[in-house]
Amino acid sequence: MMEKKDKTIEFLSYIKTPLSDDSIAVLYSANNIRYEKCLLFSDYVQSLLTLIFDTYLGDDFTSDEEKINHFKWCWDKNIKNFIEEDIWFYSSRESFDYFSEFMREVFYELPDKEGKKNPQVTIRSLWVSVFSYNNSKSRSDMDNFVEIYNILDKSLKNGKKSCLRVD
């Protein structure tokens, strides 16, 4: 019984206890995380969210298939918008799947979006927090941040032709 309690405490510590500034700095260095890329990736995700939220017609007008197509259109449009700024992202299966699954779970499949306490604000705030370079982070937060940072970093291709969505 004590072992289960210890694992519970360890897990809660993993998701809740903030890392020290020194620990975060070491993890940033070990994972080659750069402040400028955090800003860029935050802009990239916020731009995607803006496209999704501003162009979504609502659940009453959108079938499940249209939700998928809507996300694909927003994804491609976001990449094209960044290309126009000479910032080239490659749409890997990994990056596309990560964000499409995220948006499906927290937005597209959320029932009664209009009756909820503005899920768009919550989703935007979450991503601002994820890419905030100077925020306090738990070990869990840091592990998730490093994962998504690396996914986007692999997708970033400076000066090379972009390959849009992987079908």
| pLDDT for the residue 4 | 65
CA angle, residues 66, 70, 75, in degrees to nearest 5: 150
Three-class DSSP category at 47: helix
Both tokens of 48, joined, read: 């995607």
Task: Determine how many CB atoms are found less than 10 A away from the CB of residue 96.
Answer: 21
Contacts of 82 (CB under 8 A, 6+ apart): 44, 47, 88, 89
User: At 106, which helix (H) or strand (E)?
Assistant: none
Of residues 7 and 94, more confidence is placed in 94
Instruction: Enter the pTM of the model.
Output: 0.83
HSE on the CB side for 122, CA within 13 Å? 9
Residue 160 has pLDDT above 60, yes or no: no
Q: Which residues pair with 138 in a beta bridge?
A: 18
Evaluate if residue 34 carries a pLDDT over 90.
yes
Looking at residue 20, the DSSP 8-state letter turns out to be P
Give Cβ neighbours of residue 104 (< 8 Å, ≥ 6 apart): 67, 71
Alpha-carbon gap, residue 103 to 48, rounded angstroms: 10
> For 122-134, what is each residue's pLDDT tens digit?
999 999 999 998 8
Per-residue model confidence as pLDDT tens digits over 46-83:
999 999 999 987 777 888 889 999 999 999 999 999 99
Predicted confidence (pLDDT) at residue 101 exceeds the cutoff of 90 = yes
Given a contact cutoff of 8 angstroms between Cβ atoms, the answer to whether 127 and 38 are in contact is no
User: How many residues belong to the chain?
Assistant: 167
> Within 13 A of 106's CA, how many CA atoms are on the CB side?
18
- Mean pLDDT of the region 134-138: 86
- Can you tell me the mean pLDDT for 23-29? 91
Domain range summary for the chain, segments of one domain joined by +: 45-167
User: What pLDDT is attached to residue 26?
Assistant: 93
H-helix or E-strand spanning residue 70: helix 64-84
Return the pLDDT at 24: 87
165 — pLDDT class (breaks 50, 70, 90): very low
For residue 12, what pLDDT band results from cuts at 50, 70 and 90? low
The yes-or-no verdict on residue 150 having pLDDT over 70 is yes
